Amino acid sequence: MAYEDLRSFLRTLEREGELRRIKVQVDPYLEVGEITDRVQKAHGPALLFENVKGSELPLAMNVFGTQRRLCLALGIKSLDEIGERIGELLKPELPHGLSGFKDALGKVAQLRSVPPKHVKGAPCQQIVLTDDQVDLNALPALHTWPQDGGSFFNLGLTHTKHPETGQRNLGLYRLQRHDSRTIGMHWQIHKDSTNHYAVAQRLGERLPVAIAFGCPPVVTYAATAPLPADIDEYLFAGFVQRERVELVDCKTVPLQVPAHCEVVLEGWLEPGVTRPEGPFGDHTGFYTPVEPFPALTVTAVTMRKNALLQSIVVGRPPTEDGPLGKATERFFLPLLKMIVPDIVDYDLPETGGFHNCAIIAIDKRYPKHAQKVMNAIWGAHLMSLTKLIVVVDADCDVHDYAEVSWRAFGNVDYARDLLLTEGPVDHLDHASYQQFWGGKLGIDATRKLPQEGYTRNGGWPEMITSEPATAALVDRRWKEYGL
């Protein structure tokens, strides 16, 4: 089922035993972060802090902290479901017969029926505060780690649009609360909103921004998805949940936000106006340094009656980022296979932040096939930020890290099977000697062919496997052995 809003999903989690209410007062300075980090590393429940010091709003945390909860949020049984639906849409074959035409029309209908729907009134505007009424200190922002540069909102869905084309973008960025009316926008260099702001500056225009908190679960996921700039996140959200997302016009900026979110901040970015932002303990597990980022002047806060806020704690994995990143890995496999059809499957380890390492399985057919795939990955949208690519044969389970390690440790001649290059890296990468670009490594852990220079006697050896008849015999007699 699709959840119209966050609060209805939280009710489901409570019925399922997946939510704990924290009724005692907790401090958003370090205490909430410490509690949440311990719970999410134990793969524990979602948390609803009902008494947050300094604020009247409850705070929902660790909502998507397990794959089970994320699947519940998106109305699916497994993360592979959405990938399979995307794969069906991408099939290019011409329809055959009446049933084929029905299938083709069904694909078109899936997209036509899910664009966002504009509504005039919305729960998120039951309370409207403007200008001097705005007080961001009334909202529970988190100071999560000791050396953080201040308090942050970590799950605000940021809306902008291209000043020339009007193309909307929905993104998820950390937001530092500078004062009662100003927020720092941590827009990384590779993000679409950064481009929107750059165009506005070139035109000498201010840029409207709307930030929505406590959105319907599928919308929150869509904001994290690495979609191309010309694909509307709300169309994707509607496709995932098979229902249109309702949007309402903002009060003081020419943008739209989810009608059933909890809190909205509206405001304008003036050209060239920045403030120092950070440090911040980020999903890399390290503090990111202080840098200048645009500073948003908030002109209005709208909210539901009895609103609540949702946030997230990032840091050393595992964190709530894990299930969200794994969903993206599964959902976008068909799209990646369109760009690089050689791929059989792939895995993006959470410990690599889902962009530092990619494990790729291919059905190897010719010499240097693995290196061809590496270069294709480094040219594929945000996969270009991948620092380490490990390529294995199709019979390797890329999600079994022990098996992948066995192949990478044993199948590689490190004088011949490495591809070292340079290219763009993530904005937050601290290991690169220059910001935004650095070294990349490809490891060819596939079997080697004679044409690749592997000419040893007997060729590449066979892997050890059990004799099938004996294995079947032992399966049948296992109970007899008393083991």
Q: What is the per-residue pLDDT across 199-236, written as a single tens digit (0 to 9) for each? A: 999 999 999 999 999 999 999 999 999 887 778 999 99
* pLDDT classification of 97: cutoffs 50, 70, 90: low
Q: Residue holding tokens 């990384």?
A: 188
User: For residue range 271-319, what is the model confidence (pLDDT) as tens digits?
Assistant: 999 999 999 999 999 999 999 999 999 999 999 999 999 999 999 999 9
pLDDT at 394: 98
DSSP characters over 282-346: -TTSSEEPPEEEEEEEEEEEEE-TT--EE----SSSSSTHHHHHHHHHHHTHHHHHHH-TTEEEE
Helix (H) / strand (E) element for 238: namely: helix 233-241
Question: Worst-scoring range by mean pLDDT, 102-106, 120-124, 149-153?
Answer: 102-106
Q: What is the dihedral of CA 397, 400, 404, 406, to 10 degrees?
A: -110
pLDDT at 190: 84
Q: What is the arithmetic mean of pLDDT over 247-265?
A: 98
- The secondary structure of residue 389, as a DSSP letter, is E
pLDDT at 246: 97
DSSP characters over 181-223: TEEEE---TTSHHHHHHHHHHHHT--EEEEEEES--HHHHHHH
Has residue 33 got a pLDDT over 70? yes
Number of residues that this document lists for the chain: 483
Helix (H) / strand (E) element for 371: namely: helix 369-377
Instruction: Give me the amino acid identity at 191.
Output: K
Q: What is the arithmetic mean of pLDDT over 22-38?
A: 98
Q: What is the arithmetic mean of pLDDT over 323-327?
A: 95
User: For residue range 169-194, what is the model confidence (pLDDT) as tens digits?
Assistant: 999 999 999 999 999 999 888 888 99
- Residue 222 burial (C-beta neighbours within 10 Å; 0-12, 13-18, 19+): buried
User: For residue range 37-88, what is the model confidence (pLDDT) as tens digits?
Assistant: 999 999 999 999 999 999 999 999 999 999 999 999 999 999 999 999 888 8
pLDDT at 87: 85
In the set 37, 282, 342, 417, the catalytic residue is 282
* pLDDT classification of 106: cutoffs 50, 70, 90: low
User: For residue range 406-458, what is the model confidence (pLDDT) as tens digits?
Assistant: 999 999 999 999 999 999 999 999 999 999 999 999 999 999 999 999 999 98
* pLDDT classification of 105: cutoffs 50, 70, 90: very low
For the stretch 225-228, contacts whose Cβ atoms lie closer than 8 Å and that sit 24 or more positions apart, written own/partner, are 225/328, 225/331, 225/332, 226/328, 226/332, 226/381, 226/382, 228/381
Q: What is the mean pLDDT of the chain?
A: 93
Has residue 370 got a pLDDT over 80? yes
Q: What is the pTM of this model?
A: 0.91
Both tokens of 163, joined, read 């000043």
Decide if 80 is catalytic.
no
DSSP characters over 34-74: HHHHHHHHTT--EEEES-BTT-SS-EEESTT-SHHHHHHHH
DSSP characters over 439-458: EEEEEE-SPPPGGGT---TT
Has residue 258 got a pLDDT over 90? yes
What is the Cα–Cα distance from 426 to 386, expressed in whole angstroms?
8
- Give ∠ CA 460-398-79 in degrees, rounded to 5: 155
What is the Cα–Cα distance from 253 to 134, expressed in whole angstroms?
15
Both tokens of 76, joined, read 């699916």
Question: Worst-scoring range by mean pLDDT, 229-233, 268-272, 345-349, 364-368?
Answer: 229-233
Of 185, 267, 258, nearest to 222 by C-alpha is: 258
Q: Rg of the chain over CA atoms, in angstroms?
A: 25
Task: Return the axis-axis angle of helices 321-331 and 80-90, rounded to nearest 10°.
Answer: 30
